[in-house]
Amino acid sequence: MTTAISVQSATRTFGRTTALDRMSFSVASGSILGLLGRNGAGKTTIMSIIAGQDRPTAGRVEVLGGEPFENASVLSQISYVRDNQRYPDDYKLHHVLRIAPDFAPNWDADLAAELAEGFRIPSKTKIKKLSRGQLSSIAIVVGIASRASITLLDEPYLGLDITARALFHEVLIRDYAEHPRTVVLSTHLVEESERLFDQVVIVDRGSVVLDVESDEIQNVAYTVSGTADAVDRVTQGRPVLSTHAVGGLKSATLRGLVDEQVRADARAGGAQLSPVSLQELVAAFGEYEPDATSGVALDGGEPRTPVDSQNGARS
């Protein structure tokens, strides 16, 4: 499988703020990547760079084999609608639908019209007067109807109602199945979208903290819960992502697989072991403080080293 997007140790600083800190991951051609993480983790920054709207301060980002910034042949194959996309003041829906094909060679006008109707986007209202959800709908229409080889969807759900979110999923999958493309989707609504992903990258503080194929998610971490003593017996000497305690009760999310020794330690104190959902995993990685743990590094390496289970396997 060829690589569509390759982020190689990309760093982006804004003054004293480091938005990206040697971020690395790659996306296989024709796959759907879920780019997850807390606000400020660097999702929008890396998307802007992949889209060629910004450049890394250091490192390299390649899309379809070239650097996208001011690279017309690459840019024509990328569709990216920012979550705060601005339009000219007098623009209405039809202006957007008329100008979009100029930027998207594979534009499908029929699909765009069908989607605009499905999302019930008002056609006579100026775009600057539309609601947050209606703006998101326009971004989705443009994003999907562009049929670009590289489709970047940054928080496409903002303000969308449940019906519109379901429609978005259906349309995306149907069109993706008929016209395969590489999709990068960032979202906080993990539970609703996780079944779409081939690959999941979790970022935090500008770096990749997890990069796995979807099938591997349940092997990444597990939760142990019970009385504080029982839980501590299991966490002792093992890499802890996050803990919660209320009264005498405690739960902890631990990195790694449940093995016989973990099972035995849990049984000894009467603690329960359970699998961790992707949503819980994102939350746990978002809470993880390298300095606050018992000094046991995640995955046995540097605390902030990305846990990379797939480099080489996919490329």
Which of 6, 24, 26, 31 forms a contact with another protein (CB under 8 A)? 31
Whole-angstrom CA distances from 211 to 27, 144, 167, 240, 310 are: 10, 25, 28, 18, 7
Among 98, 174, 263, 267, binds another protein (CB under 8 A): 174
Nearer Cβ to another protein (168/288): 168
CA 192 to chain centre: 13
- Cα angle: 49, vertex 277, 222; to 5 degrees: 110
**Closer of 65 and 275 to another protein (Cβ):** 275
Interface with another protein (CB under 8 A), residue from 196, 273, 283, 297: 196
**In 3D, which of 26, 42, 43, 49 has the Cα closest to residue 199?**
26
Distance of closest approach, residue 143 Cβ to another protein, in angstroms: 17
The DSSP line for 188-239 is S-HHHHGGG-SEEEEEETTEEEEEEEGGGGGGTEEEEEEEHHHHHHHHTTS-
The sign of the torsion formed by the CA atoms of 276, 280, 285, 291 equals negative
DSSP state of 299: G
Shortest Å, Cβ 159 to another protein: 20
- 13 near 29, Cβ under 8 Å? no
Region binding another protein by CB under 8 A among candidate stretches 62-70, 209-217, 262-270, 307-315? 209-217
- Check binding of 157 to another protein (CB under 8 A): no
62, 67, 108, 198: residue in contact with another protein (rule CB under 8 A): 198
* Stretch of residues binding another protein (CB under 8 A), selected from 9-17, 50-58, 73-81, 210-218: 210-218
Is 98 an interacting residue with respect to another protein (CB under 8 A)?
no
* Position 120 contacts another protein (CB under 8 A): no
CB of 66 to another protein, least distance (A): 26
Per rule CB under 8 A, is residue 109 in the interface with another protein?
A: no
Nearer to another protein, 191 or 302 (CB): 191
Any contact of residue 132 with another protein (CB under 8 A)? no
- Binds another protein (CB under 8 A): choice among 109, 166, 245, 313: 166
**Helix pair angle (132-145, 162-178), 10° resolution:** 10
Is the distance from CB of 23 to CB of 46 less than 8 angstroms?
Answer: yes
Query: Applying CB under 8 A, what is the total number of residues that bind another protein?
Result: 22
Instruction: Report in angstroms the alpha-carbon separations of 250 from 97, 239, 243, 313.
Output: 53, 16, 7, 37
Residue 276 near another protein by CB under 8 A: yes
Q: State which of residues 16, 110, 162, 177 lies at the interface with another protein (CB under 8 A).
A: 177
Using CB under 8 A as the binding rule, whether residue 267 contacts another protein is answered as no
**What amino acid is encoded at 14 in this protein?**
F
**Which of 128, 116, 136 is closest to 91 using CA atoms?**
128
Separation of alpha carbons 83 and 67, rounded Å: 23
33: β partners: 184, 199
When asked if residue 173 is in the footprint of another protein (CB under 8 A), the reply is yes
CB of 253: closest distance to another protein in angstroms? 13
Where along the sequence are the contacts to another protein (CB under 8 A)? 31-32, 166, 169-170, 173-174, 176-178, 192, 195-198, 214-215, 217-218, 275-277
